[in-house]
Chain A
Amino acid sequence: MNIVVCVKQVPDTTEIRIDPVKNTLIRQGVPSIMNPFDKNALEEALQLKEQYGGAVTVISMGPEQAKATLREALSMGADKAYLVTDRSFGGSDTYATSYILAKVIEKLGPFDVILGGKQAIDGDTGQTAPSIAEHLGIARLTHVLSIKIEGNKCIVEREIEEGVEIVEAKLPILCTATKETNKPRYATIKGKIDSLKAEIENITLADLPDIDVTKIGLKGSPTRVKSTFTPKRQSCCEMLEIINPRETARMLFGKLADAKIL
């Protein structure tokens, strides 16, 4: 069983503060962490490896400092880690990012299972992992709760709004993990020490000879961010007149239903 996990380094949003004057995020001094859902993806990969054997590879696209996140993945038990990095990759949107990651996966593969997080807590689009599946032309199952492998297919439980869906799919498969998927393990002390000394290879444009350079970086990205802003917090209060309790409850129910809260 060959498994690859896509992990993204993100700012620790629990530590994020807003500049009171400029109304923008203060990024300086904010520690970087592994995207929490990617930790769930990695945990799932490690459990699959424990159950079915094989190896777990982790990849991350980002600057040199993203190696800290790859080391964390190694300390938890991943076997190999690669940093996907090149000047020409800078400015990639989710389309370009997922295209580059798909090319990397093709180069390092073949893989039976590709895992990612349901979304990154900074960019928050939830597009990258599913798009990788599109580029590779394979099936994808998002928000998985469990993965069972039977021969060349998998049986997956997915979290959906109405409950749990059980789906069967052919391998290779791409799955995304959420907080509900599992509880990620802690690194062992030994794993942590070894990970600090591990060599992490870079994968650059030169390592991907068949990549279409018109689809990467700023130029290859169809999305343009026009502006970003912090939404204004608004709260308003409406008093309901009490005619009688039953009628007031009915009015309240109507209001909540209109606001799509009920």
Chain B
Amino acid sequence: MSLLYTDEQKALIALVKEMAENEIKPHVQELDEKGECPKDLFKWAFDMGLHMLEIPEEYGGTGLSYETTAMIFEELAKVDAGYAITLVTTFVALRNVILSGTPEQGKYFADIIGKGNFAAFALTEPNAGSDPAALRGTAVKDGDDYILNAAKTFITNGEIAALFVGFFKTDPAAGHKGISAFIVDADAAGITIGKHENKMGLRLSNTTDVTFENVRVPASSMVGPEGSGFKLALNALNLSRAFVATMAVGIMQRALDESVKYAKERKQFGQPIIKFQMVQQMLADMAIKTEASRVLVNNTMRMMDNGSLVRKEGSITKTFVSDCAQEVTSNAVQIFGGYGYSKEYPVEKLMRDCKIFQIFEGANQIQRLTIANELEREYK
């Protein structure tokens, strides 16, 4: 691997690898088939503190850098990216409440998550995916409360979350400037969880519709000033985009590991297939794309550790890495031949798992729009 790791980082990566290989990996194939992940299996992650790694110590977290946290999540994603994203979604929601909310809101959120609970981030609606300004969900002031109404869709952790960070229009006429964010307890009256999405990949990750019907929350649960929800969502997405990229690197590394091993074992025409130049080229290209992606992610993480918002860099990273992951995982299946296409072998799952990385946290087309807009500004 290409990065310079400190002794501490090496020790943490080894610890997480040991846990994930022993406790999670044996269940992955069956859970992928079923499309679920029991809460019990997250006991390991909660005990270890993987849901609070980069949360500051005053909020009960471990206070790790983004850089080290990313290395740990790459390792977890090698075993299963759906497992990893359940935790990432949780801490990104918490991190954003800490960044944009009051200290009391941060404390409230952190205490609940710290006990071993999940959080969800509810932005997308059926008619507002790439274009969140088109949100229809509303938050209407009523005395000291707000009344929330919205149909949210594709919500990661929807069914298992104890807390939501939800986005609603406080001023429906005002486009994205009319969006405000709220902390909502999952057991609040009026919340219904819809069906669990039967997905192509990332099947250990829970994805559901969440409907808010006249959900009453105190005005004090608004995060940040009224109308600042869109900005908050963008900040949150900057952070989660970088972490999504690190998980894609994990998937790629797994694809490479499996492929090299297989290519050395599988014999055709009287020799291991790794001896064929065309197979060698695929493997070399897989290694090139994986290494380059890892370095790019690492640089973005270090920029975030230094306080940069990585608006452009995060988009570049997520887009490059998730595009590379398609080729790398597809070639893993190619190297395995017919066996790669079979569910008996681990690589077809990697191909299914990694497709979503081009779509969520802002589709790659939208990332390219962002990058181009930033370029236009920079060269003014």
Question: A188 CA to B64 CA in the complex, in Å?
Answer: 13
Q: Known contacts A189-B64, A190-B62; decide if A196 and B49 are in contact (CB<8 Å).
A: no
Cβ of A187 within 8 Å of any chain B Cβ, yes or no, is yes
- Contact: A193 with B49, CB < 8 Å? no
**The one of B8, B11, B48 that contacts A188, using a Cβ cutoff of 8 Å:** B48
Q: Known contacts A190-B62, A193-B62; decide if A185 and B47 are in contact (CB<8 Å).
A: yes
- Contact: B8 with A189, CB < 8 Å? no
The chain A residue sitting closest to B7, CB to CB, is A196
Residues of the B chain whose Cβ atoms lie less than 8 Å from the Cβ of A190 = 49, 62
Q: Which of A75, A185, A187 has the most CB of B within 10 A?
A: A187
CB interface residues, A 183-232, toward B, < 8 Å: 185-190, 192-193, 196
Question: A50 CA to B16 CA in the complex, in Å?
Answer: 24
Please give the distance in Å from B52's CB to the nearest CB on chain A: 9
Residues of the A chain whose Cβ atoms lie less than 8 Å from the Cβ of B49 = 188-190
Q: Known contacts A186-B15, A188-B48; decide if A196 and B8 are in contact (CB<8 Å).
A: yes
Residues of the B chain whose Cβ atoms lie less than 8 Å from the Cβ of A192 = 11-12, 15
Cβ of B53 within 8 Å of any chain A Cβ, yes or no, is yes
Cβ of B19 within 8 Å of any chain A Cβ, yes or no, is yes
Question: A75 CA to B47 CA in the complex, in Å?
Answer: 13
CB interface residues, A 168-196, toward B, < 8 Å: 185-190, 192-193, 196
Residues of the B chain whose Cβ atoms lie less than 8 Å from the Cβ of A196 = 7-8, 11
Q: Known contacts A193-B62, A196-B7; decide if A186 and B12 are in contact (CB<8 Å).
A: no
Question: A99 CA to B47 CA in the complex, in Å?
Answer: 38
- Contact: B18 with A186, CB < 8 Å? yes
The chain A residue sitting closest to B19, CB to CB, is A186
Cβ of B5 within 8 Å of any chain A Cβ, yes or no, is no
Cβ of B360 within 8 Å of any chain A Cβ, yes or no, is no
Please give the distance in Å from A238's CB to the nearest CB on chain B: 36
Question: A188 CA to B60 CA in the complex, in Å?
Answer: 13
Cβ of B44 within 8 Å of any chain A Cβ, yes or no, is yes
Question: A200 CA to B49 CA in the complex, in Å?
Answer: 25
Residues of the B chain whose Cβ atoms lie less than 8 Å from the Cβ of A189 = 12, 15-16, 48-50, 53, 62, 64, 72
Please give the distance in Å from A218's CB to the nearest CB on chain B: 35
Please give the distance in Å from B114's CB to the nearest CB on chain A: 12
Question: A193 CA to B49 CA in the complex, in Å?
Answer: 12
Question: A196 CA to B173 CA in the complex, in Å?
Answer: 56
Question: A243 CA to B12 CA in the complex, in Å?
Answer: 64
Residues of the A chain whose Cβ atoms lie less than 8 Å from the Cβ of B48 = 186-189
Residues of the B chain whose Cβ atoms lie less than 8 Å from the Cβ of A187 = 15, 48
Residues of the A chain whose Cβ atoms lie less than 8 Å from the Cβ of B53 = 189
Residues of the B chain whose Cβ atoms lie less than 8 Å from the Cβ of A193 = 8, 12, 62
Question: A35 CA to B53 CA in the complex, in Å?
Answer: 29
Question: A192 CA to B18 CA in the complex, in Å?
Answer: 13
Q: Which of A75, A185, A188, A189 has the most CB of B within 10 A?
A: A189
Question: A190 CA to B68 CA in the complex, in Å?
Answer: 13
The chain A residue sitting closest to B8, CB to CB, is A196
Please give the distance in Å from A168's CB to the nearest CB on chain B: 33
CB interface residues, B 225-282, toward A, < 8 Å: none
CB interface residues, A 39-87, toward B, < 8 Å: 75
Please give the distance in Å from A27's CB to the nearest CB on chain B: 21
Question: A188 CA to B8 CA in the complex, in Å?
Answer: 13
Question: A75 CA to B14 CA in the complex, in Å?
Answer: 13
The chain B residue sitting closest to A68, CB to CB, is B11
Question: A188 CA to B116 CA in the complex, in Å?
Answer: 14
Type the 1/0 row for B1-36, where 1 means its CB is closer than 8 Å to any CB of A: 000000110011001101100000000000000000
Residues of the A chain whose Cβ atoms lie less than 8 Å from the Cβ of B12 = 189, 192-193
Please give the distance in Å from A19's CB to the nearest CB on chain B: 24
Please give the distance in Å from B125's CB to the nearest CB on chain A: 36
Type the 1/0 row for A110-128, where 1 means its CB is closer than 8 Å to any CB of B: 0000000000000000000
Please give the distance in Å from A187's CB to the nearest CB on chain B: 6
Please give the distance in Å from B270's CB to the nearest CB on chain A: 26
CB interface residues, A 81-115, toward B, < 8 Å: none
Please give the distance in Å from B367's CB to the nearest CB on chain A: 31
Question: A192 CA to B9 CA in the complex, in Å?
Answer: 10
Please give the distance in Å from B14's CB to the nearest CB on chain A: 9
Please give the distance in Å from A6's CB to the nearest CB on chain B: 23
28 residue pairs from A and B, CB less than 8 Å apart: A75-B15, A186-B15, A186-B18, A186-B19, A186-B44, A186-B47, A186-B48, A187-B48, A188-B47, A188-B48, A188-B49, A189-B12, A189-B15, A189-B16, A189-B48, A189-B50, A189-B62, A189-B64, A189-B72, A190-B62, A192-B12, A192-B15, A193-B8, A193-B12, A193-B62, A196-B7, A196-B8, A196-B11
Which residue numbers of B lie inside 8 Å of A, CB to CB? 7-8, 11-12, 15-16, 18-19, 44, 47-50, 53, 62, 64, 72
Given contacts A192-B12, A196-B7, 5 further A-B contacts (CB under 8 A): A75-B15, A185-B47, A189-B53, A189-B62, A189-B64
Query: Which 6 residue pairs of A and B lie closest in terms of their CB atoms, listed nearest first?
Result: A189-B49, A186-B19, A190-B62, A188-B49, A189-B62, A188-B48
